[in-house]
Amino acid sequence: MIVCFTTTTTLNVYNLNDELAKRQWSLNALQHPACLHLCCTLQTAKDGVATRFLTDLRDALTSAKEKNSVSSSSDKKNQGQAAIYGMTRSMPNGPVTAVMQAYNDIQLSVN
């Protein structure tokens, strides 16, 4: 099962993902809208994985809120994944589409 979530606050969800990565979690970041998703499997129910994730999510959320507060009250720019997704969101779709089409053409021609 895939679980996807975002935020309706001013919190940068990519900063949350960076904080989760520091805690050894690897979630997938998406855009339009900015969100994160993860896959839950039977392994998730074993060995307290879900409980550990929720604990780390709460801690990461606290850290991301603090980071959000600092970045909004100073001239510091976002770093990490937040900066990358912020930049790509500002790009028009044309170049991204062209690069993806070229990549697919090359991959398909190799096989």
* Whether pLDDT at 111 is above 80: no
Average pLDDT in the 31-60 region?
A: 87
What total number of domains does the chain contain?
A: 1
Q: What is the pLDDT of residues 53-105, one digit of tens each?
A: 999 999 999 999 887 766 554 444 445 555 555 555 666 667 777 887 888 88
Q: What is the pLDDT of residue 44?
A: 75
Q: How far apart are CA 22 and CA 41, in angstroms?
A: 22
**DSSP per-residue codes, 46-102:** STTHHHHHHHHHHHHHHHHHHHHHHHHTSSPPP-THHHHHHHHHHS-HHHHHHHHHH
* Whether pLDDT at 1 is above 50: yes
Tell me 18's DSSP state.
H
Q: What is the pLDDT of residue 16?
A: 92
Q: What is the pLDDT of residue 86?
A: 55
Average pLDDT in the 9-28 region?
A: 90
| Residue 45 in tokens | 């129910």
Q: What is the mean pLDDT of the chain?
A: 79
Cα Dmax for the chain: 52
Q: Which amino acid is at 19?
A: E
Bigger pLDDT: 24 vs 40: 24
Q: Is 32 left (phi over 0), alpha (psi -120 to 50) or beta?
A: left
- CATH code of the domain in which 49 resides: 3.90.1150
Q: What is the pLDDT of residue 74?
A: 44
Range of 6's domain? 2-110
